[in-house]
Amino acid sequence: MDKQKQIKAPRGTYDILPDSSYKWSWINKKFAETAAAFRYLEMVTPVFESSQLFERSVGGQTDIVEKEMYKFKDRKGRLLALRPEGTAPVVRSYIENNLQAGNSTAKLYYNGPMFRYDRPQKGRYRQFYQYGIEYIGTADPYADTEVILFSDMLISRLGLTNYRLEINSIGCSKCSESYNQVLSNYFAKYGDELCGDCRKRLINNPKRLLDCKVSSCKAIAEDAPSIVDYLDEECSEHFSQVKSYLDLLEVDYIVNPKIVRGLDYYNRTAFELIDILTETQNALLGGGRYDTLIASLGGKKTPAVGMAGGIERLIAAMERENLEFGMEPKPEVYVINNDCSTKKEAIKLTAELRKNGLWVEFEIDKNSFNKQFKTALKSGAAFAVIIGPEEVATGTVTIKNLTIEEQKRYKNSEATGYLKEKLR
Ligand code: HAM
């Protein structure tokens, strides 16, 4: 028979393997804890949506929608897309399920896979895991600050210290009118020196040129006029208040007028948390205000602000800083037994220890005591419980502390109590 060709995971995707899945769990736990502290409630939306949703929100001419969206027709010819981000689906659901009824604000969080057909590299995947929050229903600048504070608190709860918060205001459509004109005039001078994408952006959305990653465009953008100088009075006041609340809360930040974000729905506040230990894919998370999105998707005019970040980038940053990911899933107790005569006693004790909440590994392979010992040591368990013929005959078990290499016999009836006291 022909050898079957091995099937691999699609390019840009990866498997979360058992030896590292606890890192994902740890970050999910810290995120859920932070969400609880700020009183956000979870929302789960489908991984695919009508492609129109993203065209109308993220924007048909953004890289995310134009180049990176997984778009397909289902069997009935409906145009669908794997979600590239979480804000538009949350807003779609908020409107569809009438969540504004009776509530002035909604504070929602989500966490799940997103899909972007980008060139894969470290920190950039075609399927990645994104957590995010949306604070819907308030234009108060404190809400912007609170979303930023949430981001800062999440990152510091994970123990990360090498990051920088960058904030900006991109104003509203009124400020953009004059600013876009000034910006177009500035970049137009460079004509052919701009990359192909930027020449298109010059016509559609000149602000996006500030964000281009091509080094020649970056150099040109260096001296571009700053949006901060073109904010109208209200946007300027909003930005001042966001900053003054950040000062009040002693959150460190820098104003970076080049932060424009790659999605069309933003106005006013835009921010990113940057990992300073790496040059590429260094945005740990990003977000901003989107006061017109809900109305543009058919809801009532409702202001909102939010943020999202990639779990992979947090894991990489934590690994760079040698941080711990909570409890590694090591067994606490390793039960060693003799397959023939002592297996039943060992099975019973294992079940009792587990019933009492301990993490217990039971050796199922018919290995020698010596080999089982070695496996117990390698597993990282704190204690080994040995049940040999002598123990069975005397109604006892031997408990060995694997850290200090000390062992002692206990009556069967005392074993669980002793281990619980030591481990809990
Ligand atoms: P975004 O900047 O497109 O914003 O993505 C947020 C974060 O998701 C990035 O900072 C990065 O950590 C992570 N990320 C994005 N693309 C990838 C990728 N291909 N691979 C790995 N990680 C990635 C949004 O998605 C907005 N919805 C954020 C938001 C929420 N604004 C308001 N509310």
User: Which pLDDT value is given to residue 208?
Assistant: 86
Q: Per-residue pLDDT averaged across 96-114, rounded? A: 93
Region 149-165: mean pLDDT is 97
Q: Which residues line ligand 1 (CB under 6 A)?
A: 85-87, 116, 118, 123-125, 128, 130, 132, 134, 262-263, 283-288, 306-310, 312-313
- How far does the chain reach from its first CA to its final CA, in angstroms? 56
CA of 40 to the centre of ligand 1 (A): 19
CB 232 within 8 A of CB 175: yes
Q: Which stretches does DSSP call E strand in 116-198?
A: 127-136, 163-169
Q: Which two tokens stand for residue 377?
A: 């040591």
What's the pLDDT score for residue 353? 97
Show Cβ contacts of residue 269 under 8 Å, excluding neighbours closer than 6 positions. 141, 144, 167, 168, 169, 238, 239, 242, 288, 289, 305
Average confidence (pLDDT) over 150-170:
97
CB 265 within 8 Å of CB 84: no
Of the listed ranges 65-69, 255-259, 335-339, the one predicted with least confidence? 335-339
| CA of 373 relative to ligand 1 center, distance in Å | 47
Distance CA 413, CA 59 (A): 67
Mean predicted confidence (pLDDT) in 318-326: 95
CA atoms within 13 A on the CB side of 133: 24
Radius of gyration of the chain (CA): 28
pLDDT value of residue 2: 61
Task: Tell me which residue has its CA closest to atom 15 in ligand 1.
Answer: 310
Q: Residue 62 corresponds to which tokens in the numbers above?
A: 């953004």
| Residue 227: predicted pLDDT | 93
How many angstroms does the Cα of residue 407 sit away from the middle of ligand 1? 52
- Taking CA atoms only, the protein residue closest to ligand 1 atom 30 is 307
Q: Are the CB atoms for 259 and 166 separated by under 8 Å?
A: yes
Q: Out of 82, 114, 290, give the residue to mutate to test ligand 1, the one with the largest number of ligand atoms within 8 Å of its CB.
A: 114
Instruction: Tell me: pLDDT of 311 over 70.
Output: yes
Query: How far does CA 336 lie from the centroid of its chain?
Result: 40
pLDDT of residue 176: 87
| Cα of 93 from ligand 1 centre, angstroms | 19
| pLDDT score of 118 | 96
More confident residue, 191 or 97: 97
Q: In this structure, which residue's CA is closest to atom 22 in ligand 1?
A: 310
Helix (H) or strand (E) holding 409: strand 406-411
Span 273-295, average pLDDT? 96
pTM assigned to the model: 0.93
The predicted pLDDT at position 363 comes to 84
**pLDDT for the residue numbered 100:** 86
Nearest CA to ligand 1 atom 14: 310
**285 and 151 Cβ atoms separated by less than 8 Å:** yes
Identify the CA nearest to 263 among candidates 226, 219, 308, 198: 308
199 pLDDT exceeds 70?
yes
pLDDT greater than 90 at residue 367: no
For 308, the enclosing helix (H) or strand (E) is: strand 304-310
State how far the Cα of 350 lies from the Cα of 337, in Å rounded to an integer: 11
Mean pLDDT of the residues in the chain? 95
Q: 3-class DSSP state for residue 175?
A: helix
State the CB neighbour count (10 A cutoff) for residue 268: 25
Given ligand 1 and candidates 14, 85, 94, which is best to mutate, with the most ligand atoms within 8 Å of its CB? 85
C-alpha distance from residue 371 to each of 367, 368, 374, 375, 390 (Å):
6, 5, 5, 6, 19
* pLDDT single digits (tens) 219-262: 999 999 999 999 999 999 999 999 999 999 999 999 999 999 99
Which residue, by CA, sits nearest to atom 23 of ligand 1? Answer: 310
**Contact in structure between 125 and 14 (CB atoms under 8 Å):** yes
Mean pLDDT of 187-199: 90
What local confidence, expressed as pLDDT, does residue 1 receive? 55
Q: Which atom of ligand 1 is nearest to the CA of 64?
A: 3
Which tokens sit at 137? 């229903």
Mean pLDDT of 156-161: 97
Q: Residue 285 Cα, ligand 1 centroid: separation in angstroms?
A: 6
Q: Which atom of ligand 1 is found nearest the CA of 306?
A: 33
CA–CA distance, 39 with 136 (Å, rounded to integer) = 13
